[in-house]
A and B are shown apart, each in its own frame.
Chain A
């Protein structure tokens, strides 16, 4: 709560000893800059709209949960559910991300410098995930829209996920995002999207049909 009181448009806040505590930097709607000089626990920099956050260390579960806008950088690894349900902004994980990264994402960009765990992009709705390393099992399981770009290997695709050709414009977009993060050695990606086979039931009852 103290952090929220300090947050004002244009302010620069440093948390010198975050001590990997949970719920640091939650629910801040100001365009300010926050720096955590160390690792943080669960739900760090979550429910944000606007701030630019730097986490110098590791983050626990659900870093950047439901971000509306802004920018979050984690210099090392993130636990499970990084960027869960985020709706906008950019979340960058310098190291690896755990399971379910970008789960139910609704917008924005999740960029992972290392590997991503199993069920990354699970039920993703919109936005994009860029993985510079390898992706774990069941990538993009049950995703609706949005795209996942993987530079490394994919352990397996999830239910209803499929590989699609990437356009040149998309490649330029992805390379531009990575370049801004100082990553210049990744040049080719596998693009994963929804196969859209789960969008609708195969059959409907008479009354349900007549409603369409």
Chain B
């Protein structure tokens, strides 16, 4: 046996121990989990043949309009595509990045979401449909901003680090970021994990009513859950009166998290969607309470599979940032020099040293991201995703992405069959049933 060939003591693990031996605490990083888990690539669509016929893939009409919420509110969130941009804070991201995301969402008729740092006026102005998050920290929480939003999202947990609050290292807690959050300059912010004014699902029901009162029962209220005990959590959130449930899996991204939480908590997106769907079905609320999936959605294929498994919409985080140039060498950047790894390997959002101006508060780095050009790239990416979804949907003989269903899928592995509850290819067997 030579060093480096061990599965248990891989060079990565050895390096990790060396780092901790120097550091004396858990390690922190951005991006998402690197665990190998069952994902959408383990599923394939069963397109049409002789038993059913397709729609013209490039031409015939295929609906992508998506309505989120409406069960308990007057004005559901209506999106032109089932893809919207997930909550990422101003603070974790630069102002240019937030504005670009808001603008991109508006360009494709979709929504963007505030994050754990309050509403940035620039994003509000750029985004036609802004989802206002209510987080345990309530950093920058302002009832005037609440009533100015198009939807409300109560964050119970996030997939990248369920059971904990947000994190923002001191290098990013500067100037107006610190001011908006009412925090001392330069502190390593570790946000609260529990909400300040409610604890359990019975209190949550009253909290939801409070937010509805404040917004005259107009806006949909989403509840975002880190995917862990999905069955119970989804039922409790639905019973508490949510219009929509966002299920955020262990594949979800973050600007900063203890690595141990990123890698060792939560469940993957595929089983999370299926469990959430079944929980709603058991309550008779499937199709009434909207289901939004997030975590590791990278393409129209991923999004289409999420919809086929039971989601009404998907939210993207890292995908949108990559479209903004995350991990891409640009003329102004030098990844090796600036963050010590080549483009494609950067996961150091927490340091604020983002070479492409996205995850930074440094004005020089931020100037490397032009919000208008960035918005165009993100809009192009979402449009590409939407077109990929409609192409797949038509090939399945359907004219609406919301008609996708589990029967359109087969699993490529036994694990995927068990988690997605669809048959393994080449068999009629759903494993685990």
Q: Which residues of A contact B (CB under 8 A)?
A: 1, 4, 22-23, 26-27, 29, 41-43, 46-49, 61-62, 65-66, 68, 81, 84-85, 87, 100, 103-104, 106-107, 122-123, 125-126, 144-145, 199-205, 207-208, 210-212
Contacts and interface: CB of A to CB of B under 8 A. Distances in A.
Interface in B200-222: 203, 206-207, 209-210, 213-217
Given A22-B206, A26-B213, A208 B169 contact: yes
Interface in B20-45: 22-25, 27-28
B138 interface: yes
A200 B172 CA distance: 13
B214 A202 contact: no
Interface string B120-163: 00000000000000000110011110110000000000000000
Contacts of A103: 196-197
14 contacts: A1-B213, A29-B143, A43-B206, A46-B210, A61-B203, A62-B198, A107-B182, A144-B183, A199-B188, A200-B170, A207-B351, A207-B353, A211-B171, A212-B171
A87 B217 CA distance: 24
B351 A47 contact: no
A43 B181 CA distance: 22
B197 A87 contact: no
B192 interface: yes
A174 B21 CA distance: 49
Contacts of A144: 183-184, 187
A205 B206 contact: no
A70 to B, nearest CB: 12
B387 interface: no
Given A144-B183, A211-B351, A85 B213 contact: no
Please classify the interface of chain A as helix (H, G, I), strand (E, B), loop, or mixed, using the class held by over half of its residues: loop
A84 B353 CA distance: 35
B339 A104 contact: no
Contacts of B186: 199-200
B183 A23 contact: no
Given A84-B197, A103-B196, A27 B137 contact: no
> Which of A4, A84, A201: most chain B CB closer than 10 A?
A201
Nearest to A100: B196
B351 A1 contact: no
A49 B143 CA distance: 8
Interface string B323-360: 00000000000000001100000001011110000000
Contacts, number: 125
Contact of A26 (B25, B137, B210): B210
B373 to A, nearest CB: 26
Given A46-B210, A61-B198, A84-B196, A207 B143 contact: no
A23 B182 contact: no
A199 B187 contact: yes
B24 A200 contact: no
Interface of B, helix, strand, loop or mixed by DSSP: loop
B240 to A, nearest CB: 13
A85 B171 contact: no
Contacts of B283: none
A200 B197 CA distance: 26
Given A1-B216, A200-B170, A208-B169, A145 B184 contact: yes
B19 interface: yes
A27 B214 contact: yes
A211 B352 contact: yes
Nearest to B352: A211
A106 B171 CA distance: 21
A201 B215 contact: no
B196 A43 contact: no
Contact of B215 (A27, A42, A104, A200): A27
A122 B181 CA distance: 16
B138 A23 contact: no
Contacts of A85: 138, 141, 196-197
B339 A123 contact: no
Contact of A49 (B22, B28, B144, B339): B144
B144 A29 contact: yes
A23 B213 CA distance: 7
A23 B203 CA distance: 12
Q: Which 5 A-B pairs have the closest CB atoms?
A: A27-B214, A62-B197, A47-B143, A106-B182, A26-B213
A201 B182 contact: no
B196 A207 contact: no
A65 to B, nearest CB: 5
A208 to B, nearest CB: 5
A22 B216 CA distance: 15
Contacts of B210: 22-23, 26, 42-43, 46-47, 65
Contacts of B28: 205, 208
Most A-side CB within 10 Å, residue of B22, B144, B207? B207
Interface in B169-193: 169-171, 181-184, 186-188, 192
A106 to B, nearest CB: 4
A124 to B, nearest CB: 10
Given A205-B19, A207-B353, A27 B213 contact: yes
